[in-house]
Amino acid sequence: MTDNAVDVVLEELTITTQDLMEYRPGELMHYCMLLDTLGDHEGMLNCALTHIHKTCMGGKAQSMREENLQRDMFAVAAKKYITAQLEMSRVLREKKNHIESNSLGVRVKYITNFQSKFEAKLLAHIHEIISVIDQRLIPSCTVEENRVFYYKMLADYFRYSIDFYGHNASKDYMDAVGEALANYRYAMELGRRHLEPTSPIFLAMVLNYTIFVYDMQNNVDEAVLVGEAAFNQAINRTHELDEVDHKESTLLLQLLRDNLQLWKHAAAQDQGDEGAPGDGVSNAEPEGIEL
């Protein structure tokens, strides 16, 4: 499909939130997948949010299949949209720093105003996603696996909001850190109770939780302890999984192992043990690899 053709289709598909409410849930699901194909992730997210509004009101329970489809659709839409917006925010901050270093006057004012409005809108979207998870999706869950998934997702989006609160001693900053930590820990507790150690949802939660503990809490001991325990419990049981889950769990275990190696090496450097020459471990500052 040519760029012009995509633009025409997107123009035809651009409808208001009020218009979306006229679609049935099954139609919204197909519409959401089409918008994903076209790369309209804001439209996809709006469509997913409308689907949630229609299905999580009125007390009618969904089937397990419907609940899982809604979970996946919403998670993908939110992740793609917010990830793209976070990258734009990063580029905007770099541009602002460049302008501040090389220019005076009105250009700094323009980009500062633009950045302020852009980040306020992005933070509002993050808060909307948090609210939907907390007030609609978690209360309507009938599957424990999905409950774990949503508490992990809730923690992730509180973590995304942290960068927009400025000084790390501010109340908003501390509240976001506290909410992220509390929801990660509750998700971990639920996951240990209800999920197999090889579950991709459980391993993805462990991956992101340990990164948060390492990066935001500066607690390498807990990050390594939790990560190693999860890795060791899962590694010898991957043969029990079906083909799809085996592939996903193996990837997550590889990412978790890579993070553990980076963090252990960094801890050894901090303690004065630089590691053996030629051990193949980078001396770069470790950055956790998350999903």
Q: What is the mean pLDDT of residues 105-133?
A: 91
Distances (CA, A) of 128 to 69, 88, 121, 134: 20, 19, 11, 10
Indicate the pLDDT class of residue 68, thresholds 50, 70 and 90. Answer: very high
The mean of the pLDDT values for the chain is 85
Indicate the pLDDT class of residue 59, thresholds 50, 70 and 90. Answer: low
| Amino acid letter, residue 231 | F
What pLDDT is attached to residue 13?
47
The pLDDT of residue 1 is above 60: no
Tokens of 291: 């999903």
Q: What is the mean pLDDT of residues 87-97?
A: 92
Domains of the chain in start order, with CATH, are 3-139 (1.20.190.20)
Residue with tokens 């397990």: 64
Please choose, from the candidates 173, 233, 172, 167, the residue with its C-alpha nearest in 3D space to the C-alpha of residue 198: 233
Tokens of 138: 């978690």
Secondary structure element (H or E) that encloses residue 18, with its range: helix 17-20
Tokens of 202: 């459980």
The pLDDT of residue 127 is above 70: yes
What pLDDT is attached to residue 11?
47
What digits encode the pLDDT tens for the residues 179-234? 999 999 999 999 999 999 999 999 999 999 999 999 999 999 999 999 999 999 99
The pLDDT of residue 275 is above 50: no
What pLDDT is attached to residue 272?
66
Q: What angle do CA 129, 252, 226 make, to 5 degrees?
A: 85
Indicate the pLDDT class of residue 155, thresholds 50, 70 and 90. Answer: very high
Q: What is the pTM of this model?
A: 0.84
Indicate the pLDDT class of residue 4, thresholds 50, 70 and 90. Answer: low
Q: What is the mean pLDDT of residues 145-167?
A: 92
Whether the CB-CB separation of 119 and 89 falls below 8 Å is answered with yes
CA 105 to chain centroid, in Å, comes to 37
Distances (CA, A) of 219 to 108, 215, 216, 223: 38, 8, 8, 6
Q: For residues 286 and 148, give the distance between their C-alpha atoms in angstroms, rounded to a whole number.
A: 28
* Helix extents (H) in 133-170: 138-140, 144-162
| Amino acid letter, residue 171 | K
Tokens of 217: 């809490």
Q: For residues 206 and 212, give the distance between their C-alpha atoms in angstroms, rounded to a whole number.
A: 10
Residue 280, classed as helix, strand or coil, is coil
Tokens of 268: 């050894």
| Amino acid letter, residue 20 | L
What burial class does residue 151 get, using C-beta atoms within 10 Å of its C-beta: 0-12 exposed, 13-18 middle, 19+ buried?
Answer: buried
Tokens of 192: 């240990």
201, 207, 210, 216 alpha-carbon torsion, rounded to 10°: -100
Calculate what percentage of the chain has a pLDDT beyond 70.
82
Q: What is the mean pLDDT of residues 108-121?
A: 91
Please name the residues in contact with 191: beta carbons below 8 A apart, sequence gap of 6 or more: 148, 199, 201, 202, 205, 206
What pLDDT is attached to residue 207?
96
Residue 193: Cβ within 10 Å count: 9
